Amino acid sequence: MTYTIKKSDGTTLVDILDGTIDQTTDLNLIGKNSTTFGESLNENLVHLLENFSNSSPPSKPLMGQLWYNTEESRLQIYTGNTNGWRPTGSPLVSQSQPTSFVTGDFWIDSNNKQLWFFDGTALTLAGPIWTKNQGKTGFIAETLFDRFGNSKPVLKLYVSDSLLGIYSASEFTPVPEFSGFTTLVKGYTSSTAVSNLFNITVNNSNNLIVGTDGSNNPIIVSGSNFVRRDVDSSINGQFSIASNGGLTLGAAGNVKLKLSGFALQIENSRVNGDISIRTKNANDITNDNIYISASSGRIGILTDNPQQTLDVNGDSRIRGNFEVDGKILTKPIVLTLIDNDIVGYPNVTRMCTGIINEFTITTTSTTGIHQGMTVIGTGIGIDAVVTTVNSLTQLTLSVRNTGAVSASLTFIDPSSNNKTNLILNDVANTSNYLDNQQAIVHYQTIDFSTGTITRKNKRFVIVSGVWTYDRDLTSSVW
């Protein structure tokens, strides 16, 4: 007689012939009058007791069949060809995402150490929000305690296991204290153990609190323009620094613009760090208008290499008194002095006759002879001076001796002395200058015989405190 074996839902599983043992399933199904039914029956009971315990699943499972997976030490159930074997009462555990889920399934991502759940539509992360490689990253709600034992809920912000800051609803000092934090403010407190930078764009804001003053009052930056320290930035409006500490420039913070009392200070604290105030002219050339050399302590105007305490590379104009406690010049330059006086008459030689004790003599001509000229020549003696020019041929002399004159006499204008030396001694006092100081003296002479005026230039140099004639430079006839 054939046995017909049915499943729980009433469908036929298999027909077993007499005297046979069917192996359609993972259990031995025994037919009528089978001679080895006892062994097969006992094996079936053992398999059921151990839930087919093995490292590999049963090969002929029926939906709802249990299997104890010895590889994972987990009891699993067969859910059909679509979903296969699934854990019973525990999440799925694997390094990669399973290919199929049913509503309510949990999956532990053993690679990233994260728990996921399937809500029937999508797989959702239950936590933590960071992967194993990322480390603790994100906000974590914790409870701290103040010094009075009051609980204080806070949000801790982590990135890669590093605590960057803490958000708190009130200000308090956590007990016990921990690295990077002492007092927590109301709002966000940055850790002192790490360097925090908020790299954000603020398009508009009424006020920004940047700290507290000495009385613990907030310092507020008003307006809608803010700058970043890591990129080029600009503001459209007035920028104020309400601190005597002023403005610090440079990667090393060497240059400072600050107040000391009521004095404005521009400071370059770098060793041998100069200061330059520059402008660009109409020819697009940049000039060091004022240059301060740190190594020499000198100031240059229109030069970045000052050679003296004050070195002006260009002309200067003083619109007031100029007082010098010392010598005017510190290096030889050209000093120009001008004298426009007439430099007398040239020497005149005439044939003269007469008796001197009569004080008058006769000349071939009195042209070029004027009162005050001295007279030298044979028979005239010494200290003879013209006192009066009487006519074109007669003149009166002042003499110290008497006698007859019948020879050529020379009439000399005493004002023809070296006027250039007189000018230097009168105007250019050598005590105000250094040795090798140069002076160019311009003077002019008149030649009455030719009716020409000649402008002459002579150069003098101070040697051992005295002006010494050097040489003529140029001559020009007007």
Asked if omega into 57 is within 30° of 0 (cis), the reply is no
How does DSSP classify residue 373? -
d(CA 73, CA 93): 12
Q: CB atoms < 10 A from the CB of 181, how many?
A: 18
Q: What is the pLDDT of residue 249?
A: 85
Specify the higher pLDDT residue, 89 or 58. Answer: 58
pLDDT band at 174 (very low <50, low <70, confident <90, very high): very high
463: which 2 tokens?
A: 């040697």
Specify the higher pLDDT residue, 83 or 348. Answer: 348
Asked if omega into 58 is within 30° of 0 (cis), the reply is no
Specify the higher pLDDT residue, 444 or 124. Answer: 124
pLDDT band at 219 (very low <50, low <70, confident <90, very high): low
Query: For the segment 349-376, what is each residue's pLDDT rounded down to a tens digit?
Result: 999 888 665 578 888 888 888 888 888 8
Q: What is the pLDDT of residue 477?
A: 53
β-strands 247-249, 66-69 pairing: unpaired
Give the mean pLDDT of the chain: 80
Token pair 């006759």: residue = 353
Task: Give mean pLDDT, residues 450-475.
Answer: 76
Task: Give mean pLDDT, residues 335-355.
Answer: 67
Largest CA distance in the chain: 200
Q: Which of 30-34, 193-197, 217-221, 419-423 has the highest mean pLDDT?
A: 30-34
Task: Give mean pLDDT, residues 393-403.
Answer: 77
Specify the higher pLDDT residue, 105 or 55. Answer: 55
Query: Contact at 8 Å (CB) between 442 and 457?
Result: yes
Specify the higher pLDDT residue, 345 or 88. Answer: 88
Task: Give mean pLDDT, residues 186-211.
Answer: 69
Give per-residue burial for 265-303: e unless 16+ CB within 10 Å, then b. Answer: eeebeeeeeeeeeeeeeeeeeebbeebbbeebebbbbeb
Q: What is the pLDDT of residue 330?
A: 47
Express as a percent the part of the chain with pLDDT over 90: 13
**Which of 270-274, 332-336, 398-402, 419-423 has the least mean pLDDT?**
332-336
Query: For the segment 120-168, what is each residue's pLDDT rounded down to a tens digit?
Result: 888 888 778 788 888 888 888 989 999 999 999 999 898 888 888 999 9
